[in-house]
Amino acid sequence: MQTAEIRRRFLEHFAARGHTVVPSASLVSPDPSLLFTVAGMVPFIPYLTGREPAPYPRAASVQKCVRTLDIEEVGKTTRHGTFFQMNGNFSFGDYFKEGAIQHAWDLITGPVDDGGLGFDPDRIWVTVYLDDDEAAEAWHRIAGLPVERIQRLGKKDNYWHTGAPGPGGPCSEIYYDRGPEFGPEGGPLVDLAGDRFLEIWNLVFMQYELTDVRSKEEFTVVGELPNKNIDTGMGLERVAFLLQGVDNMYEIDEVAPVLRRGAELAGVTYGKDRDADVRLRVVADHVRSGLMLIGDGVTPGNEGRGYILRRLLRRAVRSMKLLGVDDATLPELLPVSKDAMKASYPELETDFARISAVAYAEEEAFRRTLTSGTALFDTAVATAKQAGAPTLSGEQAFSLHDTYGFPIDVTLEMAAEQGVTVDEQGFRALMKEQRDRARADARAKRTGSVDVLAYRRLLAEHGPTDWQAYDTLRTDSRVLAVVAEDEGPQVATAGEIVRVVLDRTPFYAESGGQVADAGVLAWDGGRAEVIDVQRPVKGLVTHQVRVLEGELREGAELTAEVDYEWRLSACQAHSGTHVVHAALRQVLGPQALQSGSYNRPGYLRLDFAWQGALSQQQRTDIEDVANAAVRADHRVTASYMTLPEARAFGALALFGETYGEQVRVVEIGGPWSRELCGGTHVRGSAQIGTLALTGESSVGSGARRVEAVVGLEGYRYLARERDLVRQLAELLKSPQDGLVDRVGGMLARLRDVDKELAELRAQQSVAAAGQLAAAATDVDGVAVVTGSPAGLGGGDLRTLALDVRGRLADRPAVVLLASESGGKVALVAALNPAALERGLSANDVLRAAAAPVGGRGGGKADVAQGGGTDPAGIPAALQAGEQAVVTATGR
């Protein structure tokens, strides 16, 4: 049975039993404490914990998940993988243990012809919590399981909680007996390795309120929950390999094709060599994970999710290289993975142009990194071994990572292969310092130095802020709190900067790439300037203000008013971002999808997936399409719907963003631009005003950035360019429409002049070389030439010195030249092989000459070069260099 078919049967089974089928949430977790969605229940946590009312009494989903804690173990065993799918059914105060057991049993043992999975009931075992007699009795009564196949385990195995005070309860796990060839009899209790009795489904009975949670097994049960919940998880890959009759998840239909193609490229046979098998499993797992992560909008980077993705892709590429494949491999492997997964996720097919562009660019960048980084790594290893301490320092590993882009995991793997250790602790410490600096900056932006718990207490006490930024620029508000670093009620006086929480506000809080509003708070006898607005916790808006006059205290009644011009310019920039995005997709194609943006009044920038710089014609076309949309005065509207409805409506969900059940869809010109967005916008596209592209650049492999100005800033930008053209035309005495030809002609003439000057310098150098060589003095059989030609830079002076040296090939020769140019001194010492045989060194001569001109330098024994800052010392420098020759020859 194919994996996509198992998935379909699971969802249809629960849909027929009154469950709302919920699409998989993104792999990008909405929980800020998680990088990725790591379990099927993550999207339902607010409902399971009671923080939010569930929109349905029962639900079912097949959730995409990624876990990377054991990434180094992937491939070494057949159990570990990074991407997996979790089938789950959930009840929010509806059915409980009996219902969960009945639904599970009906599906796993139901006949295949009736939509079931067809597992043999006689090979099913279950475990329950030690004293959960209710669950044990239900399994015996509903499923007819004999008592000996219902085993009891303790809290470590059969009890669930979040690790914090809140809901928890016993669980029941369902196992499948793979047969005596995989291990001894006796059920899960005796099969500690889990090779014979394989867990396929876990049913969590969330029925108690827990407190004083100290560990997995240490907590206090307060009492029963008023509403008991069900949370289950069935491992789709595990069920698939059992139903497909293969040995492990790497051999199922959604993974094995990549493994087989990798083996073909490497010319190896899977199952013949352990090391090759490990590498092929790494490739199969990581290529699939990379495909799914890019599909959900993650792009390679050096932090967070981006770093995990980069690590997965690069481990796959390097594994293929270790298998002997030197050519690019992702173009061979990624399409295979897409074809294997598209039955379950059709969007992979439609979005593959973008996905593949990101992945292939990352492989190409890594191949370049491997070339340069490996050379640096080899040098560092050789130096460490010569020093007798085969360890790379944390600084060396950090330099390889930070300066040359060499991932630490690759450094660790290569070091282990060479028998060298790495000071990983030192590396991690340096990385932590770097991240802490960045996080401190971001944290200060959101909350200042205030503990986020203070904001959570305010939210719990007063509820969410009445946020009216979409509807008005002015509200009558009350101060709920004046928040500062120390505790207690705060009063802010003139000149102080504090953070203020209001019961309602018209101010837009920074989010989605749009900066916060500016404006004022005004009250009887006082006024404050709003300089920033943030959301430190979901639902609460804080205002950073500078008190201009009077006293601002808790409980004050005031007027909050947004600066109209600021908001208008911000709306122009944000709507302009949507317009530019739509123009990019119209000119370049749908793969040019936005991956990030920033807009402030009058200015916008937009990052998008694309390979290579845009041509001037493409930039012109994008600007033309955008301005045509502005002139058309498309209507700008916003509507609310569910996320599935928005996707069906054709709205673009921007990567890296997380969305709730209800989303806001902003349209400009109907389907021409239709995006999920929480920002503020103009009423019609003509309000954007002038739109001018000002820049286009790279922001990483497979990603470009365009910048633009809009509205009054756009007009000013074009006005400045107009004035610049006018001034140049006047300066060059040329009509404006002939300016390009005039400048082009001038540049051509300058190139001709430069060529003539170069030829003259060469002639002068030849003449000077002959004169200098002819003036050589003899020092104990060594021809010594010193001279100070004026106006030569280091490169020209070196050329001259080598020319002079070449004219003295018939005897030992030392050439020392010094030249002053622009108040600086250039020095060059050059020796021929015969002088080297006499024991002379260009370094010694140069060091002696450098001191009188306040300089230094160095090089090889035959040629050394340096400089100084005191031109007056040149005669003394030449004399000192000649004296060094005298001393060295023993004259």
Q: How far apart are alpha carbons 291 and 310 in whole angstroms?
A: 12
Residue 81 per-residue DSSP state: -
Half-sphere exposure of 705 (CA within 13 A, CB side): 14
Query: Both tokens of residue 493?
Result: 């006086």
DSSP H helices, 808-873, are: 833-837, 842-850
Q: Is 875 helix (H, G, I), strand (E, B) or coil?
A: helix
Residue 220: strand pairing partners: 211
| Token pair listed for 132 | 């959960």
CB atoms within 10 A of CB 23: 13
Spell out the alpha helix ranges (H) of 387-451.
Answer: 394-402, 408-417, 424-447
Strand 526-537 to 519-523 pairing: antiparallel
Taking residue 700's Cβ as centre, other Cβ atoms within 10 Å add up to: 18
**Residue 416 corresponds to which amino acid?**
A
- The CA distance from 220 to 106, in Å, is 35
Nearest to 503 by CA among 450, 460, 466, 537: 466
User: How far apart, in whole angstroms, are the C-alpha atoms of residue 568 and residue 268?
Assistant: 64
Q: Which residue has the tokens 């070339």?
A: 371
Q: Give the Å distances, CA to CA, from 316 to 45, 264, 276, 287, 336.
A: 33, 15, 13, 7, 14
Question: 3-state secondary structure string, 171-235?
Answer: EEEEEEECCHHHCCCCCCCCCCCCCCEEEEEEEEEEEEEEECCCCCCCCEEEEEEEEEEEEEEEE
- Strand, coil or helix: 559: strand
Quote the crossing angle between the two packed helices 330-341 and 274-295, to the nearest 10°.
Answer: 70
Taken as a whole, the chain contains a residue count of 891
Q: Is the distance from CB of 687 to CB of 571 less than 8 angstroms?
A: yes
CA angle 515, 516, 518 (to 5 degrees): 125
Locate 386 and state its tokens: 């010569």
Say whether 19 counts as a known binding-site residue: no
What's the rounded Cα separation, in Å, for the pair 11 and 20?
9
As a whole number of Å, the end-to-end CA separation of the chain is 95
Q: What is the DSSP string of 258-296?
A: HHHHHHHHHT--TTS-HHHHHHHHHHHHHHHHHHHHHHT
**How many Å apart are CA 840 and CA 833, to the nearest integer?**
10
Alpha-carbon distance values, 225 to 48, 50, 209, 229 (Å): 11, 10, 6, 9
Place of tokens 């090889």: 860
* Helix H or strand E segment including 360: helix 352-386
Give the Cα separation of 356 and 336 in Å (integer): 12
User: For residue 886, which phi and psi values (nearest 5 degrees)?
Assistant: -60, -45
Was 571 annotated as part of a binding site? no
- SS3 of residue 246 by DSSP: coil
Lateral strand order in the sheet of 691-698: 594-600, 603-609, 703-710, 691-698
List b or e across 406-445, with b for residues whose CB sees 16 or more CB atoms inside 10 angstroms: bbbbbbbbbbeebebebbeebbeebbeeeeeeeeeeeeee
Binding residue ranges? 574, 578, 677, 681
Binding residue ranges for Zn(2+)? 574, 578, 677, 681
